[in-house]
Amino acid sequence: MLNTKTAARHYRAIFISDMHLGTKRAQTSALLDFLRATESDQLYLVGDFIDNWSLRKNWYWDQLHNDVIQKLLRKARKGTKLVYIPGNHDENFRNFLNLRFGRVAVLEEAVHVTATGKRYLVLHGDKFDGVVRFAPWLARLGDTAYEVSMELNGAVNRVRRFLRLPYWSLSAYLKNRVKRAVEFVSRFEDAVVREARQRRCEGVICGHIHTPADRMIDGIHYLNDGDWVESCTALVEHQDGRFEIVTWNAKGIQQEMDIIHAYTDRDRRLVTTG
């Protein structure tokens, strides 16, 4: 985990997604802290930056939301190459695909070339989600259920703080304990890996499912940068081409994510063998 008291860490590239600005669950304070503490030559916003679904239902936008956008634009003005890849929650911005606003490019997807010359397909990933593509009403229903679980999550963690227990994610636990959800994640990962192979890329970088990951799948390097609703994670490329998932700020989240990953790996084996 990075230390905000040190000088800004400079990376070759940073990938963040699923910020969901426009919702109360967006961890804007942590995100702003991360943006202030890091610099990069390239910065990718990999979808669901602004949650238009939520804004249509209930407008929520505070000063921290403005500060995040101003910080990103300031980075672009100072020389960071900023690439914005809209997702399903901010799909309206796909009307601006292939346009450039100064050093900000809006793209459907991108191919990132690492310091070692490897090609990574960068995309949000919602086009590989059958629910989003073929039953958008069900996707919105699921989004509402997720919001409810986040409200319950807040109540649970207020009690846990009173008892001096670490942060615990109810929604992430439920998602990773339900066999069907694990099967969905597995199918999603297989689909984006196949797409990367067809594009002759060595790896793929995505978001969408709010589950940070860094592993090899059938010879393709699969990377998911997580989200800024619960896990507060970003994917970074070091100057030597090495990738790393960094977890930011919230006390106990790194330990919780390790537990979640252990559950996911175990349940994935059960899905594979069951």
Is 2 part of a structural domain of the chain? no
Q: How many domains does the chain have?
A: 1
Question: Can you give the pLDDT at residue 242?
Answer: 97
Closest CA to 185 of 205, 210, 160: 210
Is residue 174 a part of any domain in this protein? yes
Looking at the predicted structure, is the pLDDT value of residue 224 above 50? yes
The 8-class DSSP code of residue 91 comes to G
d(CA 38, CA 10): 6
Q: In this structure, are residues 72 and 111 in contact, taking their beta carbons and an 8 Å threshold? A: no
Q: What is the pLDDT of residues 77-90, one digit of tens each?
A: 999 999 999 999 99
| Residue 122: domain span | 9-273
* DSSP-derived 3-state class of residue 101: strand
**Any idea what the CATH number is for the domain that residue 18 is in?**
3.60.21.10
The tens digit of pLDDT for each residue in 232-271 reads: 999 999 999 999 999 996 443 343 344 434 444 444 444 3
User: Does 1 reside within a domain?
Assistant: no
